[in-house]
Structure 1
Amino acid sequence: MLPLLEPETVAPCCPPLTERPFTAEEAERTAKMFKALGDPVRLRLFSAVASHEGAEACVCDISDVGVSQPTVSHHLKKLKEAGLLTSERRGTWVYYRVEPSVLAAMGQLLVGASAAA
């Protein structure tokens, strides 16, 4: 049996937009996240993982998005590089996970001034 890989740790990106102006580094990280989600296939894959039971899905369960398997792998890699997904190999399959901290950070990032009042 193959050993399980430790899942990567995802740190929240940035403060809410209404808190203060972003630093150059914060803007770069945030733009990378939104750029990754700006592709419809990536958004569908991210949504498929996030909405799957336990916010974790095997690539075999989410690859039916109308593109080839190599293209699915490419898009999942881009989502990982943007810090939106983590992955873990279990046998021959890779399982993808949306860390709760990522969803919370994205939600907090977009909290408007009116919501804080």
Structure 2
Amino acid sequence: MPRPAPDLDAVFAALADPTRRRILEMLLEDDMAVTDVAEPFEMSLAAISKHLAILAAAGLISQDKRGRVKWCQLDPDAMRHASVWMQSFGQFEAINLDAFERFLTQERLQPPEET
């Protein structure tokens, strides 16, 4: 049975937090035990567990118990769905920020026209 498409609001809300983005980056490497996920952060295990619950609710990770240890693994489906949604905006031409900055600088240096 196919899984339903993830809720984009939940995905983007989960991705809005830098701690959760860092956790996802860590899980790109390999599955990790919750205690290993928590190790590099200066916060409690309970706080990390809340971040993991948000990521799991958004469908970005899955968790399972192996013996006494709870493991986390990246689940790319939600990210893929968000990526497809964002790519639909690729039809717009990218802004050349350097050219735009030069234009703004030029506009600031030119004296205003007298009327």
Q: TM-score, normalised by structure 1?
A: 0.64
- Give percent identity, aligned residues only: 22
Counterpart of 1:46 in structure 2 is 24
* Higher fraction of helix: 2
Moved over 6 A (4+): none
Instruction: Deviation per CA, 1:47-77: give whole Å up to 9, x if none.
Output: 211x223xx2221221122211110011101
Bigger relative contact order (CA 8 A; separation at least 6) = 1
CA RMSD of aligned residues (A): 2.1
Q: TM-score, normalised by structure 2?
A: 0.65
Pairing 1:33–2:11 present: yes
1:46 aligned partner, one-letter code: L
Question: Map of 1:4-83 to 2, 5 A cutoff?
Answer: 11-13=4-6, 29-49=7-27, 51-53=28-30, 56-63=31-38, 64-83=40-59
Structure 1 residues not aligned, in runs of 5+: 1-8, 14-28
Counterpart of 2:99 in structure 1 is none
Q: Which has the larger radius of gyration?
A: 2
Counterpart of 1:98 in structure 2 is 74
Count of matched residue positions in the alignment of Structure 1 and Structure 2: 89
CA distance in 2, matches of 1:36, 1:10: 19
Instruction: Deviation per CA, 1:21-40: give whole Å up to 9, x if none.
Output: xxxxxxxx211111111111
Counterpart of 1:114 in structure 2 is 91
1:71 aligned partner, one-letter code: A
CA distance in 2, matches of 1:98, 1:82: 12
